[in-house]
Chain A
Amino acid sequence: MNTDSEPVIRAENLTKGYGSFLALRGIDLEVRRGEVFGFLGPNGAGKTTAIRCMLDLIRPGGGLLRVLGRDPQLEPVAVRERCGYLPGELRLDENAPVNLVLSFFQQLRGGSARCRKRANELSERLGLKLDSKIKNLSKGNKQKVGIVAAFMHTPELLLLDEPTSGLDPLVQQTVLNLVSEARRGGATVFFSSHVLAEVQSIADRVAIIRNGKIVEVGTTSELSAKGMVRVRVVLADMAEVTAGEFDALTGVSLTKSEKSGHVFELKVEGGMDALVKMLAKYPVESLETRRPGLEELFHSHYGKRAEKGNRGDM
């Protein structure tokens, strides 16, 4: 049995391969009780593979994985009893009506009156027509069935795999509201997405996965602060600075300069000291600095990969 101090999800050097392709290359992860944990990465980065390992739908090749203190491979049912799962591409029995599908999932969860009541509340809130056949539902409405199934038993852990993909903004907002409510109710949420703004708005901590490896973990503000700083410098007219002077500074690169030769946009990695000392020699009209958002950080990781890939192709 797990205690409150124990992580809800713990992965150590978790690997998973499909033939010669390694989808997870040794993931280390700790998700704490009661937090919303964002799992960021583009398609094919390994997000779904990690979640499917947590539910014992697929078996890891190596490493350690504990969900709610249990090994999903040894006690899959015990893990799933306490989890709610919502995939982005939800597939259901097309010929069954919604109420039959939900009744099936309720009965798999023990068929308690509380679960039925909550399912009815959620269906009403989402405006889900219970007598419609699944095949007659739009993608958004199908996803609502999944939302009800994932939330109806008030799970301790929610595993949401790109839950808002393809949904209209209203349903997206409903999902995010339900996530916030679940967190307030004490649930832990593992939220995989490639929609950065969404993760930034909802997650306490974020991990970025790239090529099956976790490349960054931290709170959203920590991660935003971690990367480079964007600087915009406007010098007085009489100042004569060449682009080479900026490039000569360690960790500073010029990204844009205006024709007037007095306005420069820079990317600064490491510290600002060298730049400030250099600028002190000139009359500075204004200096603006901006920390990049999660999105920029995310792209910086994938940018590096793309550059690496391009070099590899040569």
Chain B
Amino acid sequence: MASFWTVFKFSLLRSRWTVLGWGIPLLLIGLITAPFYDLVAENELQLRPIIRGLNPFIKSFIGGEAAEDLLTPAGYIALRYFAFIPVILGLFGAVAGSGMLAADEERGVLDFVLAHPAGRAAVFWGRLAAMGIGLVIIIGLGWFGLWCGVLRADSLNFPPGQLALPYCSVFAVSALFVTLALALSMMMPSRVAAAMTTGIIVLAGFIITSLAKAIPGLETLARFSPMTYFQTNAMHGLNTEPLFGLLATAAVFSVFAWFGFRNRDIRVAGDGGWKFPFSPWR
């Protein structure tokens, strides 16, 4: 347990610049986006027919049938801000999750760490816990930026607690992408391959979930996209079922990644190859 805390503490310390590098832009996005609602509110009468007349495909990316909600305070925050945050953090998840162990492994750093009395469990779960806390800090900075932005806007009036609800869903969907990238990095020949695959899933998921609002045939496919279970409108109340569904899937990916890491050889630089955690021919 002592080595778990050591790994956790040092991983958190090590990731501080990454956390700030993602958290501060997120803070700025919230700070800048929210006050723009004042302009939307002032021009509501002119904007409504424009939105109504938009091509269904374009409309699908700003809420589909509910696109006119963009003109309401909660709808604006949901469609102009929360609709894109999971994509940004999904890409963070692809990079950070795939690099959590595989980056050090490919550089040969992990070899020397594991030559010390730290079990693989301590290294894996210590780093994952630090990653989780890092994600919470990034999301916390995003929430703080949005709250400051809301305070700056004359037409918006949300208490900080209400603004925090969608972030629970942001955390769940980001955690899913972090753990998916981690699981893939334990299986695929390289960290880059895992990051790219996860990145493609993030972007494809976003596009499919958005287009499914305009193309009925895509609804079945969209059911497999994590973005479908993200709640942009959580400010009206958080639905715990999809939230726990995403978190449970993230837990499954974590366990899958753990078995992969526990059972396989630690690679050295240039030593790639597919590794299956439950491979019968191991």
Give A contacts to B, CB under 8 Å. 18-19, 52, 55-59, 76-78, 80-81, 83, 85, 87, 89-93, 95-96, 100, 104-105, 107-110, 146, 149, 159
Contact = CB atoms under 8 A, between A and B. Distances in A.
B112 A90 contact: yes
Contacts of B72: none
Contacts of A80: 114-118
B11 to A, nearest CB: 10
B154 interface: no
Top 3 A-B residue pairs of the complex, sorted by shortest distance between their CB atoms = A91-B108, A85-B115, A58-B265
A91 B117 contact: no
Given A108-B6, A108-B117, A92 B265 contact: no
Contacts of A89: 108
B39 interface: no
A76 B119 contact: yes
B107 interface: yes
Contacts of A91: 107-109, 111-112, 269
B266 interface: yes
B236 interface: no
Contact size class for B?
Answer: 20 to 34
B108 A109 contact: no
B111 A87 contact: yes
Nearest to A150: B115
B116 A57 contact: no
B281 to A, nearest CB: 11
A93 B6 CA distance: 15
Contacts of A19: 273
A100 B13 CA distance: 10
Nearest to A110: B2
A14 to B, nearest CB: 15
23 contacts: A19-B273, A52-B266, A57-B114, A59-B265, A76-B119, A78-B117, A80-B118, A81-B117, A83-B115, A85-B112, A91-B107, A91-B111, A91-B269, A92-B109, A93-B109, A100-B10, A107-B2, A107-B6, A108-B6, A109-B116, A109-B117, A146-B112, A149-B116
Given A18-B271, A77-B118, A104-B6, 14 more contacts: A19-B273, A55-B114, A55-B115, A77-B3, A80-B114, A80-B117, A85-B115, A87-B112, A91-B108, A91-B269, A95-B14, A96-B14, A107-B2, A108-B113
B111 to A, nearest CB: 6
Nearest to B120: A76
A52 B264 CA distance: 13
A203 B265 CA distance: 30
Contacts of B119: 76-77
B111 A57 contact: yes
Interface in B226-282: 265-266, 269, 271, 273
Contacts of A77: 3, 117-119
A289 B138 CA distance: 76
Contacts of A83: 115
